Amino acid sequence: MPRKYQEEIFIRAQSSNIIAALDTGSGKTYISVLLIKWIVLQPHTRGKVVVFLVPKVALVEQQAAFITSQTPLRVRKFHGRLDLELSDRANWKAAFEGADVVVMTAQIFLNVLTHSHWSIDRVSLIIFDECHHTRKNHAYNGIMREYFQVDPVERPKIFGMTASPIWNPKDAEGSLQTLERNLDATVIAVREHVSELLENSPRPVELIKEYYPPPDHYLYLNPNLWDTLSYFRSDNVDIPWDKLLMKYHVTRNSLGPYCADLFIYHDLRPRISQILYQMETSWKEQLGDPLTLYDDENYGTAPMDVDGVLEQIDAILTDFQSWFDSSPPSHSSSLLHSSSSPPTPTSTITSSTLTAVTSHQLPTAQSTVPITVPLAWCSPKVKALTEVLLEYYTSTFHGIVFVEQRQVAACLAKILGNVPELRGKIQCMELVGHGGGHGSGRHNSASGGARGKATVSVRADVKGMGLARQQDTVKMFREGELNLLIATSVAEEGLDFPACDLVIRFDPLHHMVGYVQSRGRARTKSSSFVIMVQAGHTAHLSRYTMFQSSEPELKRVYQSREGPTRPASPGISSDSEEGELEEDDPEDLAVRERYIVPSTGAVLTYGSAIGIINYLCSLIPHDAYTPPPMPKYSGDYAAVLELPASLPLPIDKLVYRGPPRNSKREAKRAVAFLAVKALHKLDVFDDYLLPITGSKGRSEHDADGRRLMDVSSIPEILDVQVREPWTLGPRLRMHVITIDGVDAAGLVTGTELPELELMSEGHTISLRCTDELVFDADEELEKLRMLDDYTKAGIWFCVTGRPITRLMTCFVVPLTEHNCIDFEAMQRVIDEPHGTYDWTGVTEADYDHLMVMNCNQYGRALILHNIRKDLTARSVPPPGSREATHATYEDYFVEHWTRKSRAAFVPTDCPLIEVHSLPRRPSGLYRPMGRLLDVDALRTHAAPVGLIVPQGACRRTHFSEGVYRAFLFLPRLCRRATDLYRAREARFQLGLPPIADDLLIESSALPTTNAKWNNQRLETLGDSVHVMNKYPHRHEGQLSQLRQSSVSNRTLLARAKEIGLERFLTSEGQNVHVWRYTVPEEEDMLSHMLNSCHAVQRSFPRRSLQDCMEATLGAAFLTGGIEMALHAGGALGVSVGSTIPWSVRYSRRPESSPVPPLFSELQSVMGYEFHRAVTHPSFATSSGASYQRMEFLGDAVIDLVVMRHLFQKFPNATSGQLSAARSRAVCGPTLASIAVRRLGLHKHLLINNAELSTAINRHVPLLEMLMPDDVIVKGWKYDPPKALSDVLESLIGAVLIDSAYNFERTAAVVEVVMSDILEVLTTNLPRDPVSELMVWAATAGCKRIAFQKSQSNADLRRNDSISVVVHEAVVVGPITATNLSLMNLARLCNCGKAVLERPSQTDSSVESAVEETPDLTDETEEGFATLAKQKLDEDYAPSEHEVVDIEDTEDVEEAGTERNGNAMEDCQAILY
């Protein structure tokens, strides 16, 4: 239940915007929850959200958890580690729409407003926690500036919470007015229930503890660690000595010499370990093949250029280790051997050794120093602190010591437990913020490398605490595992601590807020607040005295005011605290601008401009050898901004000059503001002021800016009406079935079918429409019933072997010599559907043509081969025959034909006849004419299986040979007619270009058809070229994102639904044992004819739509090249710009320019100028950007050319085989080998980076020696610099551009350059170890495997080791690079028995995981299992002897089993 003073504030907050000024621990957050519950019930707030803002990340989790526990509302939280990508508009919108309350850091919400993901007028209430930060350029103030731009009627309610509303005690009224003006709210305090407030928020006793100044000399080591290291200080080692010296003296003055050395030790140890590690890595790489780095024979002499300074520093740190580090002794200097003493594998730094060597973190309370620390080694300040702690210590003691700097907090936390006077009493840990420490922070450039520095710069000293560790520390303190925290200002406000018995200000107070906030942690009735002041330091003492004495008066300022007047909008005033150095000048504030994009409402301000520029630069791709592109600011009061040269902008658009301002910070903001405005006009930023339009395929618009429909409501399984020709209507069409040039039968249906021709078993079957079929009105139904009964009988005999109950939608009919329906022949079949026992008139001319049926085996069609008048049922079978096991034929027949329900009918007074089983074809699978195999073109020569039966037991049927052959091929005819009909309907209704029928059929065939006309990756590169030319000023990272948005599953699905592509997809399987071409069960013939519909209900996954979109583009490319693909893309709504050919759309007049001598030889070989194509980003020139944009284009060209080559070379390969072969051909090592071995591009590459040049020179000999088959099979072993493969891709992109976008000409160049690689490519490539592991996991059914990344050296700031974890057991690793052994994995796995067959293609769980989880990772068991399933599906390819062909026939043994032939047809895949 709320307390009365909380209700008082809550009631006043309902009527107006207020700032609740209450002490820490008084329950301000609970008041905000009451206000949230109240406001969500107000009618005018429907559809709006409550925004709860906090200044620090840790508070997001804390406040969100509290609101969730107190309300049933939907609460979402966002902070730096949880928020969505800034460009992910769709999910930002969904997140806000799906929440009632959002808790977030202020900067994230300001970003959301800046880019118009949400707006102020859609917020009902904004709560500002620790609202005293709403000043100057804090994000709180930026949010309120946007608030004031909204019409007052649409503004949300404001509720601020703070314990210290006044920053400047010398101008209390001015501070209050500024805060009230900025927040559009009134500061209030409790007036009616003050006594209750005081009871629940008691004030601590405040004490001053003086300490003596630090002495000049201590009874301590001489020389100490710093003095010893100073002798070997060298600029050749990249260590920030000056900054270390500054922090050393700060720590020494504050804590004493031991802590100062402790800080230096733990700062330098990881730096030196990092340098040694990088030197060793570089040394090993020089040996050659990375896979042999750990082989004994590859360890030679140590590098000759190891700086002796480094060795001395490492030795000194090792000597002092026992003083400062409790970890085992290290041997990090083992690398530093002389050339006469080569290291052995055991003495070299391995992963395990590095772990021991580099476990030196900055001091933490989780491990203390290894020795007792006497107070003689500590400063008088630490001695005074010890005295205070001893005085107030109890068994239930809780305390906080506030310090200013992180290294002070860490060192103090580490030594206090080892001070003899405090041993066993104090369990402490530091609590600091998230940020990093100091360090050079720069990436070594070529000039740095030229100076001979040993390594890139290292940021290895004072680390901030991660969120999880902060939470764990607070939890341990709350639960009593710790009784003392050494904290920086992060603990002053917001975090939920238990009330402390003792709070100590170890370092001086600087402002009123810090005084009030830190004191608020001591809020029990017996708490003490101790201020430590150096004796004789009157400035610090007077500041504290002023804070203490002025606080009551300051409170009276806002407690006693009655209805203070609040300005209607923010004005210009000083909101500075006392002692701040630089304020925002009023003149600067007066001339600030706002830039609003009219189409979206996105807002650019001076406060957001710098962040937007930084975001743009962060997306620019760069390799390991190129410093991260950063904007450069110069000038003082008139700033100049220089953008990275890797942005594809004219040289005059890379530099911006800002207007003069009265402060340096404002000048920097002003020039950034001008730059963003200019870049928006250049289309570098979109209308949301974002450099990219979407995140991982989740954009709301495609590359052309067209809005995409919302696909979230589309179900996973679609129920659609698919186009279908098989229907009956008032007008029937007659089609003639021709077999080998002879008209065999007719096919009647209500749709005019397209003419077609197919070949099977050496027979050519064709279908043509002749005329309309008209019946007399009075006999139409009777005739149709005859057609229906006749067709059912033929399908029963020749196709399905089972009766059909539904009405037919197509009829096979016998024809007269004039191709009219032979109703007499039909009537004979209808009258005697099983045939007749009358054999009169049967002659030898009927042999091998007459269809008969054995009455003992109904439904099995036989062909008469011979009448054996010399044999009867009582004859003796000859030796060796099937019937020779019995005395007579009769005995054999009786045994085999007798059933429980009937006796065998075996007449003995008639001759026997020889018959052949008529092979049924219950499959519609066929091969297009362009893909025929020998089995299609040649007639089957295998001898048919012969049987002998009594003539009297057989009926001869009334089906002519032509008719029953037409029935045999009917499933394939129907399937082919359906495919052609849908393809041509799609071409007409969607406006597609004249794509080849067979390719269009394949593009719309889903995997469920089992036709294996793979439609899943038929793509084109049209969008790559389009986005490059449409956005000439966007860099490669932006172009890649645009391309991804254009071809993402979401985009393709949206476009497919917009055009209704699902109406033309084929999902039916090939098997027609159950005849599917029938009238729906609930309809009769008359109603069906009157309401005929050319559609049928089908169901298939929605992901089939995006696959078929890609496949249709690929089919168009295969038919008519790039131009037809552009037409198809336009018809499908894909972002390809227009249907105008590239050569016309992007044509330009040739410009003659002198060729630099460096490139003349290469240009003479290639026939193109490619100066820009071979400029590395490190080589910044005034001529423009580097090769990265053309690399983006060349990558797509090479991909497409290689895929087309594979498709044509291996027509029977599966999609997985083609993808695997393509990946090997276009991977970095392969392209790098081509660049070096074939073209020598490393000689032409313009580089201004010594490290990259060294790496390239080291790999060139290896790449020159690699044979094509080696690089294809073992390419994964090598890791040459990416610049080598990039320059080849950019060269191909340059060829495409310079050839006026002539794709075929460019493809010819690619095929020549890659000829030896393409020649050795095969579809049966050995898997790499990772794929091998995944395939093993998928076939074994194991779902408890994952990769686990780790750090061999925690201070390297990167994961450089990996382990294989099976059922939570580490079976391999952590290792860096080795082959994975799968020998013992099965012992650990109990997921299921190893199933070596391929998993079902319809695994819905896996499919849904792939569909709904775009960011799969192999570092989780679920992600690994899904990726392994995909890998198995891709790699699975049955061997030739496993493939069952479509011509396999029905087994004629008495068991009566039937086999369906399923052809695993060739697939197609073309990448964009």
What pTM was computed for the model?
0.68
pLDDT over threshold 90, residue 675 = yes
- pLDDT higher than threshold 50 for residue 1408: no
Share of residues in the chain with pLDDT > 90 (%): 25
- pLDDT at residue 1031 in the model: 65
Closest CA to 498 of 518, 473, 524, 462: 524
Question: Per-residue confidence at 930, pLDDT binned at 50, 70, 90?
Answer: low
Cα(20)–Cα(4) distance, rounded to whole angstroms?
A: 15
Residue 677: the pLDDT is 93
Q: What is the mean pLDDT of residues 840-855?
A: 90
The region of weakest confidence among 426-430, 629-633, 984-988, 1386-1390 is: 1386-1390
Reported as a pLDDT band with limits 50, 70 and 90, residue 148 is very high
Residue 580 is a catalytic residue: no
Q: What pLDDT is stored for residue 658 in this prediction?
A: 92
**Does residue 1195 have an active-site annotation?**
yes
Q: Which of 232, 207, 409 is nearest to 307 (CA)?
A: 232
Query: 1206 with 1277: CB under 8 angstroms?
Result: no
What percent of the chain shows pLDDT beyond 70? Answer: 75
pLDDT at residue 561, rounded to an integer: 60
CA distance 1317 to 1270: 10
Query: According to the model, what pLDDT value does residue 679 have?
Result: 92
What is the structure's pLDDT at 533? 92
Q: What is the pLDDT of residues 1191-1221, one digit of tens each?
A: 778 888 888 888 888 888 887 777 777 778 8
| Token pair for 324 | 């400062």
- Asked whether the predicted pLDDT for residue 1392 surpasses 50, the reply is no
Q: Tally the C-alpha atoms within 13 A of residue 727's C-alpha that lie toward its C-beta.
A: 20
Q: How many residues does the chain have?
A: 1472
Q: In terms of DSSP H, where are the helices of 991-1048?
A: 997-1003, 1022-1030, 1036-1047
pLDDT digits (tens, 9 = 90+) for 1292-1301: 888 887 777 8
Residue with tokens 């807002």: 603
pLDDT band at 868 (very low <50, low <70, confident <90, very high): very high
Of the candidates 1195, 1199, 1355, 1435, the residue annotated as catalytic is 1195
Query: What is the Cα–Cα distance from 147 to 570, expressed in whole angstroms?
Result: 11
Q: Given a cut of 80, is residue 365 above it in pLDDT?
A: no
* Distance separating alpha carbons of residues 1091 and 1101, to the nearest angstrom: 29
> What local confidence, expressed as pLDDT, does residue 1297 receive?
79
E strands, 1008-1085, in order: 1017-1018
Of 294-308, 924-938, 999-1013, 1140-1154, the range with the lowest mean pLDDT is 294-308
User: Whole-number mean pLDDT of the chain?
Assistant: 77
Residue of 1422 and 619 predicted with greater confidence = 619
Q: How confident is the model at residue 1381 (pLDDT cuts 50, 70, 90)?
A: very low
pLDDT at 1349 over 80: no
To 10 degrees, what angle do helices 57-70 and 28-39 make?
60
Look at residue 1164 and tell me whether its pLDDT is greater than 90: no
Quote the pLDDT of residue 1285.
85
On the question of pLDDT at 583 being above 80, the answer is: no
pLDDT value, residue 1424: 57
Report residue 169 as tokens. 């005690």
Catalytic residue of the set 507, 936, 1289, 1421: 1289
Q: In the beta sheet, which residues pair with residue 1349? A: 1362
**Position 1420 confidence tier, pLDDT thresholds 50, 70, 90:** low
pLDDT tens by residue, 725-755: 998 888 889 999 999 999 999 999 989 999 9
pLDDT-derived band at 986 (thresholds 50, 70, 90) equals: very high
Pick from 1061, 928, 1057: nearest CA to 986? 1061
The predicted structure's pLDDT at residue 579: 40
Q: State how beta strands 732-739 and 763-773 pair.
A: antiparallel
Nearest to 1067 by CA among 1113, 1094, 1101: 1101
Per-residue pLDDT, averaged over 1440-1448, amounts to 37
CA-closest candidate to residue 695, choices 202, 94, 1324, 11: 94
Segment 660-672 mean pLDDT: 92
Rounded-to-integer distance, Cα 576 and Cα 182, Å: 13
What is the arithmetic mean of pLDDT over 599-615?
90
Of 48-57, 433-442, 1118-1127, 1241-1250, give the range with the top mean pLDDT: 48-57
Three-state secondary structure call for residue 778: helix
SS3 318: helix
Q: Smallest Cα–Cα separation from 163: which of 517, 498, 547? A: 517
Among 94-98, 583-587, 814-818, name the one with the lowest average pLDDT: 583-587
pLDDT at 362: 40
Per residue in 1221-1271, pLDDT tens? 888 888 888 998 888 888 888 887 777 777 778 888 888 888 888 888 888
Q: In the numeric block, which tokens belong to residue 1145?
A: 């759309």
Going along 1067-1155, which residue ranges are E strands?
A: 1095-1101
Q: Tell me if 132 sits within 8 A of 32, measured CB to CB.
A: no
Helix axes 1250-1265, 1228-1237, angle to 10 degrees: 80
Residue-wise burial string across 653-680, b where 16 or more C-beta atoms lie within 10 A, e elsewhere: bbebebeebebebbbbbbbbbbbbbebb
Closest CA to 1234 of 1293, 1285, 1302: 1285
Rounded Cα–Cα distance for residues 211 and 504 (Å): 13
CA R_g for the chain: 41
The confidence band for 283, taking pLDDT boundaries of 50, 70 and 90, is low
pLDDT value of residue 1401: 39
- Res. 606: pLDDT tops 80: yes
In the predicted structure, residue 1085 carries a pLDDT above the cut 80? no
- Residue 1336, H or E segment: helix 1329-1340
More confident residue, 513 or 1448: 513
Q: Note the pLDDT of residue 560.
A: 64
Q: How many CA atoms lie within 13 A of 1178 on its CB side?
A: 20
pLDDT, tens digit, 9 for 90 and up, residues 382-422 = 999 999 999 999 888 889 999 988 899 999 999 998 899 99
Residue with more model confidence, 1457 or 168 = 168
User: Which range in 302-306, 834-838, 921-925, 1017-1021 is most confidently predicted, on average pLDDT?
Assistant: 834-838
Range picked from 12-16, 926-930, 1179-1183 for highest mean pLDDT: 12-16
Give pLDDT tens digits for 169-185: 777 788 888 899 999 99
Q: What is the dihedral of CA 224, 227, 232, 235, to 10 degrees?
A: 130
